[in-house]
Structure 1
Amino acid sequence: MKGPTPLAHEVATQLHIRLADYDGAVAEANKAVDLDPNDPDSHFAMGYALSSAGRHREAVDFFKRAMRLDPYFQDNIGHGLGMAYFFMLQLENAVNMFERAYKSNPERMLTLWFLVATYAHLGRIGEAEDALAKIREYWPRSSNMRLIYTSDFIRSKDPADLKLLADGLRKAGIPE
């Protein structure tokens, strides 16, 4: 790229994640952070790249830094931090972040899917069912939930991450 901006590297980060090139994603996000260490979106990109690479503990620091740098809560940052907590089995922290992210943006269905799985892992089946009802209200033809069980739904280097999500959704009663 000629004269790339942090945004260009943030977009490249997402492309590398979609291509399952997690090292490339981390490298691009690192360039974004280096170009503008005060850009919350660059820190979000790094957190997302690290989490997708299975490096959740490191991701938490970048998501938290992104939250500190942005005076307004961004639902994507809260969702990313919730995902990192979820994959580290810090489920109460995950619920708090997912609930906050959903409250900030009730149209973000991915957050609701994670809430369903997290509630189910915590044994809070009633809340999982309520969240699932909201998904079905938004997505009326979502009785066939195969999308959730595929790697296209979420990218992760560690298959255990996808299994944890799928197990939570199964516990909530979502058919494959």
Structure 2
Amino acid sequence: MLNRLRFGENAQGEAARAIELDPNDPEAQIAMAWALTTTGKPSGALDFVQKALRLDPNFPSHYVLAHGVALFATNDLEQAAEVFDQGAKKNPNATALMPPFASVLVGLGRRDEARRKLLMWRPGTSQAALEDLARDYQFPIRWAPEHKAVRERLLDGVRAAALPLDMTVSSLTAELKLGDPASRRIAAKRLGWFGPAAAEAVPALVVLLEDVRVREEVVQSLRKIGPAAKAAIPALVAMENESFIGSYAKDALKEIRGY
């Protein structure tokens, strides 16, 4: 059922028809959960996940994925981590759970555990290869365009999980003040992967808004930091009518202001 449904504009309708045809089909319930999660209604998705779990007490691991990601989308990271942990113990071969599990753990500040989850996903991987795998990782479900920030946050957490543990928000903030523009660009982008946890980098990022060579990455990271980046508002307002960067500045202002 999951593979037959298109997630996006018509997803809810298709899932509703599947449930109407067979209310006791747990796959139809999971399809509706995904449809709701990917269209900005993850709290509603949890009811359908719970029904699927009741209908199939021996549920497969993709039910765990739907459950954990719905919780992630509601920002209930503690419960999401518990769901992924129990799912992984129930089915140790379900390594596809490890990247989103790692992303949740990064959000909780548990980067050492997050890294271990990625290495369970790809055992024996070198540092460089792990970063490449995380960078190229694609979550199998897509969100409706207006809600794609949740998917972006999930992927960013996977990328942060792959970074060396000694690469922290503090060390990346220091890199913003050193080195060539390419190094500063990389540091700015990586800070965005940490989301709100990178709040201490905001003053340094604001200074870099004056450098057109790194400005795009800086604006994107300020957007991901969100309300904690309020100090950047005056500089972003001054940029919002500029060509190219202006649209990014407007998106960042929307996230930072919360409306």
Q: TM-score, normalised by structure 2?
A: 0.55
Calculate the aligned-residue CA RMSD, in Å.
2.4
Is the 8 Å Cα contact of residues 26 and 52 (structure 2) preserved in structure 1? yes
* Alignment-derived partner of residue 168 in structure 1: 157
Residue 79 of structure 1: which of 61, 65, 78 is its match? 65
Is the 8 Å Cα contact of residues 119 and 125 (structure 2) preserved in structure 1? no
Is the 8 Å Cα contact of residues 47 and 80 (structure 1) preserved in structure 2? yes
Unaligned runs of 5+ in 1: 1-6
Residue 12 of structure 1: which of 4, 13, 28 is its match? 4
Distance 2:62 2:3 in 1: 15
Unaligned runs of 5+ in 2: 165-189, 191-259
Does 1:28 pair with 2:11? Answer: no
Distance 1:44 1:138 in 2: 33
Q: Percent identity?
A: 32
* Alignment-derived partner of residue 97 in structure 1: 83
Does 1:135 pair with 2:139? Answer: no
- Secondary structure of the 2:40 match is coil
Distance 2:136 2:37 in 1: 21
* Shift in Å, 1:165: 1.1
Is the 8 Å Cα contact of residues 142 and 148 (structure 2) preserved in structure 1? no
| Matching residue's letter, 1:161 | V
* Alignment-derived partner of residue 144 in structure 1: 132
Distance 2:34 2:124 in 1: 26
Q: TM-score, normalised by structure 1?
A: 0.79
- Secondary structure of the 2:122 match is helix
| Matching residue's letter, 2:132 | N
- Secondary structure of the 1:48 match is helix
Aligned residues: 160
* Shift in Å, 1:136: 2.2
Higher alpha-carbon Rg: 2
Distance 2:125 2:27 in 1: 29
